[in-house]
Amino acid sequence: MSAVPNAVFDTNAAAEREILFRVVNRVAIVTLNRPSALNALSHAMVRELAVLVEHCRTDDGIVALVLKGAGSKAFCAGGDVREVERLAKNGDSRWLAFFVDEYRLDYALHRFPKPVVALLDGIAMGGGMGLGQAARLRIVTERSRVAMPETRIGFLPDVGATRFLSVMQAELALYVGMTGATLSGADALRLQLADLCVPVDWLATFEERLHRMSHEGDLMAALRSVFEPPCNIVPHAALQSFTPLILKHFDRRSSVERTFATLRHDLEREPPREIRQWLQATYDALQAHSPTMLYVTREALLRGRQMTLAECFRMELGIVRRVIEEGDFCEGVRAHLIDKDRKPRWAPATLAEVRAERVRHFLSSPWKREAHPLAGLGAEEG
């Protein structure tokens, strides 16, 4: 992309663009416009977004940025992992550039000097969370479906998740990251992955209120008033009743094996139906995931709690390279997204076969410090 698009598009031309851009009352609205693919991010979209974010950062006529998805189904379902798998299987190293560019974009949004609002309506997963969690005002609705489901495909929660999941208790972060559990908007609000949960109908009319927004006084307060209804009733957070179970089974001082053992133990005690359903769903999710990546994800999430944002991105990129070149990623994508037989052949296939040295290897950087593709990230943090 050579230039920033005009604020007004021809309708047909706009329909063909994967990123739409316009300015309303000095607020830039950037729309991910790939609704047929649930607004999943292609590499071209990541590069275009990076150009737009830089334009918004330097343009004094723009005071804030709103990120949204086209259509009613998704904000952004993640990155284009099928394309990553295709490149990796063909020995094409361009897949690495996608992650480098995506992480730089996410980091730029985290460090953006103007308010960023993310409308996490519908599906917001993976790469969509990388964008959304960088915002200062994260809006969800009753139809939001929020998750970091990467362990399902032999991957790990990345795009800064080893940092942004640390806003919650370690046990809750381990539960969300290891199981890939899908959260409602109300659950996301309770777990501090959202700032407001509002009705879809109210969100649909935000531009009318944005037109009338005053630029006097506190800009963040003015933006919040655009998105927060006068009388907001937040739906029940279904996960709240299971918090004691999560704290028990995903104890940070425990281990992956211990989590499986305690879940099995509680299931054998014939608990009440609702608790049994949660225990079984949690056990089945973990049982279906890559054994290696359960270990790696747990350790990465715990390490990330002690790291800066830039350090987390560097750690994640190293793990990503290891996982794609030597791990279960390609097999996970094949089983769940290409052949869709839902029968991944993980290597190794069981927890007992995962060696501690392999886990340490996945967590070790493939690059020397100065040669890391993200070596310059976060120089201002040091």
3-state secondary structure of 324: helix
Closest CA to 160 of 43, 365, 311, 313: 313
Q: What is the C-alpha separation between 27 and 56, in angstroms, rounded?
A: 9
Is 150 an annotated catalytic residue? yes
Annotated catalytic residue, options 69, 78, 126, 127: 127
Q: Please, are residues 148 and 179 in contact by the beta-carbon 8 Å criterion?
A: no
Tokens 């990553």: give the residue.
84
How many CB atoms lie under 10 A from the CB of residue 354? 21
| Structure tokens belonging to residue 128 | 């969509």
Cα-Cα-Cα-Cα dihedral of 53, 56, 57, 61, to 10°? 180
Tokens 């659950």: give the residue.
187
Annotated catalytic residue, options 79, 122, 132, 378: 79
Is 132 an annotated catalytic residue? no
Q: What is the C-alpha separation between 145 and 214, in angstroms, rounded?
A: 32
Q: What is the C-alpha separation between 155 and 160, in angstroms, rounded?
A: 14
Annotated catalytic residue, options 158, 171, 195, 299: 158
Is 160 an annotated catalytic residue? no
Annotated catalytic residue, options 80, 102, 106, 150: 150
Active site residues: 79, 127, 150, 158
